[in-house]
Amino acid sequence: MADKPTKGLADVVAASTALSDIDGKAGLLFYRGYDIHDLAGRTTFEETAHLLQHGTLPNRDQLADYGAELVRGRALGSLVEQNVVEIAEKQEPMEALRTLLSLTSADDPDKDSNAADANLRKAARLTALQPILVARFHAARRGVEAPEPDPDKSIAANFLRQITGKEPTPREVEIFDECLVLHADHTMNASTFAARVCAATLSDMHSAVVAAIGTLKGPLHGGANEQVMRTLEMIDPAGVADAVRAKLAGGEKIMGFGHRVYKTEDPRATHLRRLSEELGEASGDDTYYRMSKEMEEVVFAEKGLYPNVDFYAATVYHFLGIPTDLFTPVFSVSRMAGWTAHVIEQHADNRLIRPDSEYIGAREQKWVHIDER
């Protein structure tokens, strides 16, 4: 008799990858063998994207070439330009990004090729385009023009300026850049798996990342950071402990805690907690950081759960001036580096991903004429 299937494919190895690895017991995350603790705050998002997509941390010349490729990739195609306002009027952020990202394929000269060099070019374009799409959507829904990206500035610097309408400080840029690095890849999470399943059919990179966006849109994957912020906004700062205990007693899940893989603290949360504290102090009102810290202590005391990447990301983004409903789109800006790298890897050594299933329906049914049913 066959073994019972593992619900949710937990602990089932679905693919081999050289991109990222997790040690859940020790609370470690690696990008191509580099510990995230070594990369965070030391490497830029552009360096990290190059590492994931090309396989190496770039030297100065390689980084300059890759940066120039990203600048060229920022140009929006005609279909996006023609439709972004109407899409912004009718769709919520993740819906809009799903649509806009699909439209970008129409103007990509490599859209019909899955060759390695074409995939690398598309990966750079998509990494460059995703922050522009979020910024243009945000501007369109407010009826304003987004500032043009500065070719001499990083993805982090341009995105903060386009979203907030003001020039970020150098430290704000460094902090947001570190956030992008921390979110760039995370093994076989739901959206990455969706991208690889799509790519495994030999579908194109644009289709694969649209599948990833659609998967990230689901509240059990993306959206937790938004829910963390909305929870903080609803709670009285003087009654955090009581509010959290009441929610737990009522069977409610406190978003931003626990993880499918990590059995100790998520290593990304370690950095984000520090960044949240720094930004809170710099803002002159660290209420949300202090509430978060108290919430963390109560949840651990009551349930033994550690914060995950979403918990402190919420307050970091808030302190940076990013609207709450753009938190999940920001996640996609970062994760585009990882999604595209996984598509490249899947196409390079492909096999159709086709798991089996366990049939649990009725058997030995007999056909009955429609007049006798």
List the structure tokens of 198. Answer: 């799509």
Looking up tokens 């750079």 gives 124
Tokens read off for 183? 């979110």
Q: Which of 108, 177, 266, 310 is catalytic?
A: 310
Identified catalytic residue from 259, 271, 318, 347 = 259
- Which run of H or E residues covers position 31? strand 28-31
For residue 22, give the H/E element and its range.
strand 20-23
User: Which residues, 6+ apart, have CB-to-CB distance to 213 below 8 Å?
Assistant: 94, 97, 98, 101, 191, 332
How far is the C-alpha of 182 from the C-alpha of 75, rounded, in Å? 26
* CA–CA separation, 354 and 351 (whole Å): 9
Q: What is the DSSP letter of 361?
A: S
End-to-end, the C-alpha distance of the chain in Å comes to: 35
Q: Is 259 in the active site?
A: yes
Give CA–CA dist 317/202, Å, rounded.
36
The DSSP bridge partners found for residue 35 are 30
**What crossing angle do the helices spanning 309-319 and 327-348 adopt, rounded to 10°?**
130
- The token pair at 234 is 């609803």
Place of tokens 């810290």: 293
Active site residue 185: no
The runs of H, that is alpha helices, within the chain are: 36-39, 45-54, 60-72, 78-90, 93-104, 116-142, 155-164, 170-182, 190-200, 205-216, 224-234, 240-249, 267-283, 287-303, 309-319, 327-348
Residues serving a catalytic function are 259, 310
